[in-house]
Amino acid sequence: MKRISIETVRADFNALEAVIHYTRAAHFLGLWESERALIRRFFPEISARLLEAGCGAGRVSLGLWEMGYRNITAFDIAEELLDQARSLAKARGAETIGFIHADATRLGSSAHFAEGGDCATPFDGALFLFNGLMQIPGRKNRRRALRELQRMCRPGAPLLFTTHDRDATAVEREQWRVDAGRWERGERDPRLHEFGDRYFPSEAGNVFMHLPDRAEILADLAATGWEHAYDALRREIATESEAVRDFSDECRFWAARRAR
């Protein structure tokens, strides 16, 4: 049985169930209160040139636009979601948001991000929200994506992203203790890459997700040219609406800055 690949994830996001799920969120849910609070904190200049990774159907990009940011470039690996993002942006008068088809682990292969391309000038900051980074299979690939984003940003630029946290509650710690035993006994799902991986059905279709602990993310940031600036669980940042809680489980927000 083949392991989950980036192409698997791309196909899952292009599937009809995923397109409907994320397009509905872009139309009706918008930014979370926690996202708004941290965007204001880490991107205080409304004129900042921002790069959104894993933009999907445009929920965050359109939210940034509504907050007054006008210099936004966004990319995703799923063409069907990008079509929805462009359509929604046009309907809301936000056509100047640049929606680009690109793989976060290989930005240099896109003409838009290659040296001398349309986006060659360093960005003032980057975002990779709703656990998008953790939907890249393989730690080496997630680190590659972090390095690619680091390369695209100016020194000192902030990066804001989210992950799950497998140590967030006592229940989760016990569940992962049991799962660790399965890995030690060789009883893991052969499609998975490493401890912390999940591949499961949801209302958005099949979903790959890596659930790290805090130490893992700190190590990945240090290894890819980012300096940790902040992290907190969502519940510690803001009280979210029932709609947001239904859409997304608890997560940990992270902010880092590109090392100078």
pLDDT tens-place string over residues 137-182: 999 999 999 999 999 999 999 999 999 999 988 889 999 999 999 9
pLDDT of residue 218: 98
- Give the tokens for residue 179: 């799962």
| Mean pLDDT across 112-132 | 84
Question: 214 Cβ partners below 8 Å, 6+ apart?
Answer: 165, 167, 231, 252
Query: Cα–Cα distance between 207 and 83 in angstroms, integer?
Result: 20
Q: Which of 132, 103, 180, 138 is nearest to 2 (CA)?
A: 138
| Mean pLDDT across 219-227 | 98
CA angle (159, 164, 167) in 5-degree steps? 120
Q: In CATH, what class is 6-258? A: alpha beta
Residues of 134-144 as b/e, b for ≥16 C-beta within 10 angstroms?
A: bbbbbbebbbb
Q: What is the pLDDT of residues 86-121, one digit of tens each?
A: 999 999 999 999 999 999 999 988 888 876 566 668
Query: Cα–Cα distance between 219 and 113 in angstroms, integer?
Result: 26
Question: pTM to 2 decimals?
Answer: 0.96
pLDDT above 90 for 255: yes
Do 159 and 153 form a contact (C-beta atoms < 8 A)?
yes
Q: Which of 159, 129, 132 is nearest to 147 (CA)?
A: 159
